[in-house]
Amino acid sequence: MPSAAERFSELSTPAKLLLILTAALLPIGFGLGAVAYSGLKDANDALESQSHERARTATRGVESLLARNALALRIAANGRLDLSEPCDRIRRSLSIAPAVVQQFRLQREDGTEMCSVGTLDDIGELPPIAPGAITLRVAPSENAIILHEGVVGGIVTSLIRSEELRAAALAGTRGVDGMIIRDREREMEVMPMEPTPSGQRPSMSRLPIGNGRLVAEVQGSVPEVNVVDKLLILLPMVMWFIAALMTWLMVHRLLIQPLRRLQRAVSLYEPGEPAADLPTKLGPATEIQSLRDAFARAMTRVQESETDMTAALDGQRRLVREVHHRVKNNLQVIASLLSIHGRTAETPEARAAYGAIGRRVGALAIVHRNHYAEMEESRGLSLRPLMSELAAELRATAPEAARKLAIDLEVEPLHTTQDVAVSAAFLITEVVEFAMLRRPDEPVEITVQRTSEITARLTMASPVLVPDKTDDREKEQFERIIAGLAKQLRSTLERKLGRYSVDLPVFPPR
């Protein structure tokens, strides 16, 4: 499946321009629309909050009226039930209190009525309560709230009419469209629920009264989102559409069409032919006309320099080939001289030293020869033939006791740079030489496997590879050398018993 970048590259320039404009302007349109929507929502939330605040103010007015009456009745009744004519005394005490009801009924603690002021016949029987307790309940038949309060020596009961409740609710606020007060079983209408005006929507608030003994439902109204508000939200999107369309049309007319005509004329031109027939009318854009003239001049210069460039390239290729051939021959001569001197050396140590140096020079020559073989394709150096030739060279130059050393290769067809190949070849040479000098009867396994698009894993397995600390100076020098080669590969050498691994950078697969 083609990637998104490949699909985008296959589109025409006008389509790319439209997508780019959409990607650049559409988020701005969405952002402005979101800002407009957020501002409108904040305004609606503020209006909703104001409606709830008006409902709370109205409810606090009702609750304040109930609390004021309960306090006045308690102060007036406490200590007067044992006196003669207690109702008259309580009434006189209440008469001097502002905005307090004057109708009440006085009972003993067992519920027996003592006396009353005003008409309280339809409130029914109420249960006895303890001194200091207060009961609030709705009396729908009276359209009032019953205030039933325990005092010292008895019980006092009063009614607070809906007119008084309405006045208390509207005393501190306006904009309340209706109010209903409920207890657990009954409800009363303090203010009728008015129809919501056009362009408004209802806002209901449920608020407790008297520590949850009653619940008030207050209706208000807030403005709805109208057509103008909706257009304000969509306006940034409309602006994006108009801006993208106008920009696309202008660029297509002034730039794309003239460039296509110029492109067709240039693509028909072949080097070696007479001057190209470039279009004379390319629209009002003077830059494209200047580009046409520049193309004409460039075609002339290209035609003049193409012959010179071809000749120079051929000469440079021959020069590089000759230099490369001489370097390869020099390395092979050095390897041959080392081999000759090694065979004529008098001591085993000298012969071993000549052999070790010769194997490293030979490894470098093999890398150089394989790199030159891959130069024509510009794909770097192939690891599979390099390591096959290197293994054959190491077996051929091994000491007499290690001529039967087995080197098993499993290398994927990978390509890398010359610097990486040199370090990898030296690393393999060091490991194989260390194995042939210490355990020539055991095979050495070398594998190279791709691990990602740009990396491969080089693994060398032999019983001689033991990652432990020892007093063996040759082993310590071997570990330092292969660690240094791993650093040149910009990788960490992974040491395990019988197996050392390192990562190599390679070219991605084609």
CATH of the domain at 401: 3.30.565.10
More confident residue, 369 or 488: 488
Residues 87, 196: Cα–Cα separation, whole Å: 46
Same domain (yes/no): 211, 348: no
Whether 261 is in a domain gets the answer: no
- Please indicate, yes or no, if residue 282 is contained in any of the structural domains: no
Q: Of 24-38, 140-154, 158-172, 323-337, which gets the smallest average pLDDT? A: 323-337
Q: Are residues 346 and 210 in the same domain?
A: no
pLDDT digits (tens, 9 = 90+) for 364-387: 667 766 665 555 455 678 888 888
Domain final position from 227, 258, 280: 227
204 or 111: whose pLDDT is higher?
A: 204
The residue with greater pLDDT, 466 or 87, is 466
**Mean pLDDT within 93-99:** 67
Look up the domain containing 37 and give its range.
11-227
190: pLDDT strictly greater than 80 = yes
Domain boundary among 227, 258, 287: 227
Yes or no: say if 303 and 272 are a contact pair by the CB < 8 Å rule. yes
d(CA 461, CA 446): 7
Q: What angle do CA 501, 502, 508 make, to 5 degrees?
A: 125
Instruction: Let me know if residue 407 belongs to a domain.
Output: yes
What is the count of structural domains for the chain? 2
What is the distance, to the nearest Å, from the Cα of residue 127 to the centroid of all Cα atoms in its chain?
A: 65
Q: How confident is the model at residue 122 (pLDDT cuts 50, 70, 90)?
A: low
The residue count of the chain comes to 510
Position with higher pLDDT, 443 vs 270: 443
What pLDDT is stored for residue 252 in this prediction?
A: 73
pLDDT band at residue 456 under the 50/70/90 scheme = very high
Q: Which of 256-260, 316-320, 504-508 has the highest mean pLDDT?
A: 504-508
Residue 459 in this model has a pLDDT that exceeds 90:
yes
Mean pLDDT of the chain, nearest integer:
77
Tell whether the model's pLDDT for residue 504 goes beyond 70.
Answer: yes
Domain contains 276: no
Residue 447 has what pLDDT?
Answer: 94
Q: Tell me, what's the pLDDT at 458?
A: 93
Q: Where a domain ends, among 183, 207, 227?
A: 227
Kindly tell me the burial class for residue 242, based on how many C-beta atoms sit within 10 Å of its own C-beta (0-12, 13-18, 19 or more): exposed
